[in-house]
Structure 1
């Protein structure tokens, strides 16, 4: 028989659902609905509600396009796409119980290239965290044009401002759901991990969290203002308006999605910067300096950090599309030219490290290093120097057997293990993220337990990273 517990929050009461893992409360607003010009302003406080709000149904999502990853079924990662509704600046909460338990809290920021993703994605089921005594909060934030396009008269990085507002909601409200606001871990993957990097360098984030986990992010993944202006100019030209908040305020969300193909693949290289996203997304954070260079400005020195990548990140962008096997040496060199001022030396050095690699495998390695590897390594070193023994590094190396065993330890493959859902049938089969083979016995339990231990104590179970004697813990072998 279903049970419907009620949690009392400062904004009003919320009705949830109770099951064998605990309680869930969905679609709780942490800010007012971003409507009209409000899509391009700072998140405003939610006015609250009277009576009991229904928290048993999922939230609408931020406007977003449908993503296609060729032969790979990625809907568990991206979710259902755009589910229309104005009130999508919301959080979902999974908790053992809405009581006075003062449990550790984990706040998850989804990935999706700053243009897609939501709390509705099946991968982000928080049952295992609640089962293990953690309060899990998943966050929707503004995406694409509304969230990250740099507009005159509008605050920059509105998606990041949403995350800050959500963390403020956690500080003020999570005790009502059995969580301890003094033991908050922010963790994100891909774009969500890059947002987490930015939080570590943001002065306004002081006091909002105690620990952070960066899964396949990039501490040097922000666009320069000059790069952002290229995207803004192109978007305004496509829409036939001025690149200002007033020019964009009356444009419907549908038109913002219509112009995304015209923004894809813009050349964002400048005299001083390469494109940190290698053309995979026209949106990122917009900052004068990279987060890794500004850690002293934010809470990083007081925050424990767990950070890492998968060992074959770039495979996600080549294998499902059939490009891993069809790539040529010229393709590898062309990609190297997008990320390096000396592409010949880049390819030659990589070839020495991987003498038997195919051209496609070289392309994958170049993508992995440019998108995640270099920025992760820089962030780990910088945080370790700043914080002492608070940095722990991992490499996730279990190889998915999807797509004929070619997908491997690609971007996103660690997520089912972190959330301890690797045995779910919707992740398996020849086109499922984990492929036709069952996950290795115990691997999900071990990875999930490391994340839980880190949220509780700041120690995932292996030695801290020392820039003089680097320690990288291998997961999945």
Structure 2
């Protein structure tokens, strides 16, 4: 079988034949397809190499191994030392054929602070999006030190290079699954969205995709000096030299533990960069001038990807989730709030402006609002605006869903939008993200978000107006119904005029 999902479960790929499994709706899931050779042994810390060919039919009914990490996520596999075949991808295709020919392709990049996560998380199951008319691809790539740690003499941003290799596989192989290599959308959330917009800035990725869906794009990128300083801290924690030979001598599990140790020290008041005292994320993309020539905001402002359509979203209360799970530092006094602003290089007047914007709100709420805008909200919105100013096309949305439940309202916080966009409201772990069991209004909202993603991937139009030089229409995802506003009158956005977003320095 080499065409549509309705005809069977075996497919020809560029490296050999694969067999998937039927989904409950009659589509097919083909999981754990290698797109790159295992990036260990002589290939460790190097750019990805093509996967080896195989003979016969490879059974692809289960997800492949995940990248080295210590995270344990609900319903997702864990990494075990010795798991090396981590450069795999997964394909979902719906039953039957697309009207008029091949289907648009959506390539999903998972989040996880560039440090953890996998495409095998239950809320990333692509069956519902495949039913909506897409061929869905989710990608496993190197994270943590293996993917984003600086190693002298080796390329930075190896996790991004993995994604480029996966997109090349899509160009060569997705037609076998009924996908259209001429309509490829890269989608991601959090660090997955950061990776997606980095791809827009990378020459190596040029022409491999045509649209981007970016939810909650983080504003964090390192200059090489910070990346090197982090490597020195990780190497010291691991008890090896901060050289290529020293780092190669440390087993992946040793560098995972060392990275966790550095993150713990950041929490305890010993950050490598000042921002890590508040958000102890160890790894970020490195603006190295080679793999990543500029930050995405600068690259898009210079017209680097004006031919790529962009759909941006962020949630209204991003950092309430990060605070709830203990991922960020707590701030409860005006003095601490001022110190936070200084660490992030924000104008001293901005905390006071948020006091006026949120009269009567406790310090912690103002801190979380300011942090969420600095880290995700303003940056995501500005990406869309910069893209349009440079001649690109962009749409902007915000996830605003709230429900009154016992104990108070649910929050539109970081990651809550993902189960809605994938129509996986009942997936393991989704109940915590949603804050309550989904009701009929939630399911209707999910259907609208799925339709918007599918339509955008197919045509570039998610169903509301694009930004222009004179207007910034914003679609608000909400229950019981959505609404569209214009950011030109936003008092909150006005506070950020003139505030820059550069890469993180020490």
Partner of 1:303: 308
In the alignment, does 2:339 pair up with 1:350?
Answer: no
Q: Which shifted more, 13-22 or 129-138? A: 13-22
1:258 equivalent in structure 2: 257
1:221–1:276 contact (8 Å) kept in structure 2: no
Quick one: which of 40, 43, 56 aligns to 2:45?
Answer: 40
Output the CA distance in 2 between the equivalents of 1:52 and 1:173: 16
The match for 1:26 is: 31
Q: With the length of structure 2 as denominator, give the TM-score of the two structures.
A: 0.85
- Correspondence for 1:197: 197
Matched with 1:111 is 111
Does the CA-based 8 Å contact 1:21-1:127 persist in structure 2?
no
1:359 matches 2:374: no
Aligned length: 458
Aligned to 2:338: 333
Superposition pairs for residues 180-329 of structure 1, below 5 Å?
180-218=180-218, 220-264=219-263, 265=266, 267-269=271-273, 275=275, 278-288=278-288, 289-295=294-300, 300-321=305-326, 327-329=332-334
Give secondary structure in 2 for the equivalent of 1:372: helix
Mapped partners of 2:341, 2:409: distance in 1: 22
Unaligned runs of 5+ in 2: 1-6, 289-293, 480-506
Structure 1 position 370, deviation (Å): 1.9
CA distance in 1, matches of 2:198, 2:326: 31
Change (3 A) 1:324 1:43: closer
1:251-298: CA deviation from partner (whole Å, max 9, x where unpaired): 1111011112332125344xxxx7499533110000053221123778
SS in 1 for 2:312: strand
Does structure 2 retain, via aligned residues, the 8 Å contact 1:394–1:475?
Answer: yes
Instruction: Tell me how far apart the structure 2 counterparts of residues 327 and 158 of structure 1 sit (CA, whole Å).
Output: 38
Distance 1:214 1:48, change over 3 A: same
CA-to-aligned-CA distance 1:165-219 (integer Å, 9 cap, x gap): 000000011001110000000001000100111111111111101100110013x
Contact 2:222 2:284 in 1 (8 A): yes
| Superposed CA offset, 1:144-181 (max 9, x none) | 11100111111010000000000000001100111000
- What per-residue deviation string (whole Å, max 9, x for no partner) do you get for residues 71-115 of structure 1? xxx626xx3332552111000000125979511000000000011
How far did 1:232 drift? 1.1
| 1:154-173 matched pairs, under 5 angstroms | 154-173=154-173
Q: How far apart are 1:400 and its partner, in Å? A: 6.5
Distance 1:235 1:402 in 2: 44
Superposed displacement of residue 221, structure 1: 2.2
**1:333 counterpart SS class:** helix
The answer (yes or no) to whether the contact 1:267–1:279 under 8 Å persists in 2 is no
Q: Distance in 2 between matches of 1:422 and 1:221?
A: 29
Q: Please give the alpha-carbon distance, in whole angstroms, between the structure 2 residues aligned to 1:64 and 1:111.
A: 13
Match of 1:55 in 2: 60
The gaps in structure 1 that reach 5 residues or longer are: 68-73
Question: Pick from 80, 83, 88: which aligns with 2:77?
Answer: 80
Cα separation, 2, equivalents of 1:180 and 1:12: 20
